[in-house]
Amino acid sequence: MSALTEILRRQIALSGPLNIAEYMNLCLQHPQHGYYITRDPFGVAGDFTTAPEISQMFGEMIGLALAQIWLDQGSHPLMLVEAGPGRGTLMADILRSTARVPGFQDAVQVHLIETSPVLRDRQRQSLGAHPVTWHDSIHDLPDGPMLFIANEFFDALPIRQFVRKGSGWAERSVGLVEDELSFGLLSPTAQPVLDDLFSDVEDGTLVEWCPAAAPMMEGIASRVAQGGAAIIIDYGAPDGTGDTLQALQTQKPVDPLATPGQADLTAHVNFGHLAKAAGLDNGLEDQGVFLELLGITARAQQLAPHDSRIAAAHRRLTHPQEMGTLFKVLGLSAHMRPLPGFRNFTTKGSYTQ
């Protein structure tokens, strides 16, 4: 049995079942055995592959969109912030693709939000000599305008799960059955936050709530309101319900309780909740359409003669049966509607799909 499984069993035996967020948090962030703390999980040899690792085109399109926003807003100095940068590939591609935009790189200061020491080292290698400031949390960023980007960051934030029972909510938990980790349901309690977020769900419906997301979105919005924009890319739904907790190990789904700390744990992102918490003008676009509108096809045609993998990467990033519609892009801005890459924008948190 792994060291983390033993720690979890002892903690549950001592103080009772964990909620799903506590379980996810220990699995992903435990200071010695947490998934993100101990390893670099990306790439073909790792547990999952992300869009920036599939092709440089992903970061190039985002870099040019960010530079366009900066130009359109008057080329003022601002922070360029990425949350959960993984190997640093996306930021490296953004910096490479914007190197020829006059003045851009002198105007932006790069800030990265990252908890994992292993991944901070990887990011340092990827970004070479470029000056970067690291933070543990969005709440540690300096105040001021910013261009914010996050790819597959919010899906790694711990969620809590509840089942509607009459006027209350029964929380799903991880407890012990015959000394094995096992899912259970606690007695219903009042949860006013959920009454507000899920006002019209039927009895017996399971809902997911990411407690860290709203405070983070408020931190993002208070800066973007001063200038810049936020682009948040992830998989999820505008307003989903149902159990989406998933564990991936060596690119395959596994039981989320079977190998704590050894598998990546994620849940679908609720974009409606993110937009509502930000309270800024917003748009939700499919990743495929977003990249197409930013010019990925022309870029693929340019690169194809030099790189035989480009056609497959283009398809993987944009095709509706691959990442094209499963992944969504949330754009937030206080100054410009719509942002490059979006067909539509709605005003201030009045989020509709």
User: How far, in Å, CA of 230 to CA of 279, rounded?
Assistant: 12
As measured in angstroms, the least distance from the Cβ of 335 to ligand SAH is 25
For residues 232 and 300, which CB has a smaller minimum distance to ligand SAH in the complex? 232
Binding-site member from 56, 98, 116, 244 for ligand SAH (CB under 6 A): 116
For residues 21 and 90, which CB has a smaller minimum distance to ligand SAH in the complex? 90
Strands 228-237 and 146-151: parallel
Binding-site member from 52, 63, 260, 288 for ligand SAH (CB under 6 A): 52
As measured in angstroms, the least distance from the Cβ of 88 to ligand SAH is 9
User: How far, in Å, CA of 90 to CA of 151, rounded?
Assistant: 9
Residue indicated by tokens 């261009």: 147
Stretch of 59-67, 145-153, 178-186, 195-203 lying at the interface with ligand SAH (CB under 6 A):
145-153
As measured in angstroms, the least distance from the Cβ of 337 to ligand SAH is 26
**Applying CB under 6 A, does 53 fall inside the site for ligand SAH?**
yes
User: How far, in Å, CA of 40 to CA of 37, rounded?
Assistant: 9
Nearest in space to 217 (alpha carbons), one of 276, 156, 278: 278
**Applying CB under 6 A, does 84 fall inside the site for ligand SAH?**
yes
Binding-site member from 20, 21, 65, 156 for ligand SAH (CB under 6 A): 156
Nearest in space to 270 (alpha carbons), one of 309, 314, 328, 220: 328
Stretch of 13-21, 115-123, 280-288, 334-342 lying at the interface with ligand SAH (CB under 6 A):
115-123
For residues 42 and 235, which CB has a smaller minimum distance to ligand SAH in the complex? 42
**Applying CB under 6 A, does 282 fall inside the site for ligand SAH?**
no
Query: Nearest residue by C-beta to ligand SAH?
Result: 84
- 140-179 as b/e: b if 16+ CB within 10 A: ebeeebbbbbbbbbbbbbbbbbbbbeeeebbbbbbbeeee
Residues forming beta bridges with residue 31, ordered by sequence position: none
CB 331 within 8 A of CB 229: yes
Binding site for ligand SAH (CB under 6 A): 36, 42, 50, 52-53, 84-86, 90, 113-116, 119, 151-153, 156-157
